[in-house]
Amino acid sequence: MKLQVNGRLHEVRHGDEALVWVLRDELGLTGTHYGCGIGMCGSCTVLVNGEATRSCQMPARAAQGQAITTLEGLATRSSGGEVRLHPVQQAFLESPLQCLWCIPGHVMTAVALLDAVPRPSTEQIEAHANRNLCRCGGYNTIRKAVARAVELTREEA
């Protein structure tokens, strides 16, 4: 079966496995992290048709025909070949966080938020930051990173 990931079609063999394992083990996209495996922590979040989705809870087969975006698919290249990070990636890169295990999930959740609501309120940012667990307790920093991403997006527009 085929999966469309980061704009490219990939042949994959293990359609009955959770999407997180197909992304990591078959496609080598290890930017998608695995934490709890029961849909609680959000570290495995990817975008499926733009929706933040816990990839440990979705069989890969169920994602056929849908556009999957992982952390690796966020950056773009300029015509000169220069890599340009997504504003959310840039904002998290500038933020002092600890182990970073949760961060891919927070980044993907924030990308989905900003795509849906380009200028989210403080309450919306907080609600989104709280959807995913951070065992290091970095919620304040994560909230600030999302607010910074809003600023960067505005500056780029």
Q: What is the DSSP string of 21-83?
A: HIIIIIT--TTS--S-SSSSS-TTEEEETTEEEETTSSBGGGGTTSEEE-GGGS-EE-TTS-E
Phi, psi at 146, each rounded to 5°: -65, -40
At 10, give phi and psi (nearest 5°): -125, 135
Binding ligand FES by CB under 6 A: which of 50, 94, 118, 135? Answer: 135
43 touches ligand FES by CB under 6 A: yes
Residue closer to ligand FES (CB basis): 25 or 76: 25
Task: Tokens for 23, please give them.
Answer: 């992304």
Residue type, 149: A
How is residue 77 annotated by DSSP?
Answer: E
Nearest-approach distance from CB 68 to ligand FES, in angstroms: 15
Q: How far is the CB of 66 from ligand FES (least distance, A)?
A: 18
Instruction: Specify the stretch interacting with ligand FES by CB under 6 A; choose among 1-9, 67-75, 88-96, 98-106.
Output: 98-106
Asked if residue 116 binds ligand FES (CB under 6 A), the reply is no
| Distance in angstroms (rounded) separating the CA atoms of residues 157 and 153 | 6
Q: Does 37 bind ligand FES (CB under 6 A)?
A: yes
Minimum distance from residue 156 beta carbon to ligand FES (Å): 26
List interacting residues with ligand FES (CB under 6 A): 34-37, 39-44, 54, 56, 97-102, 134-136, 138
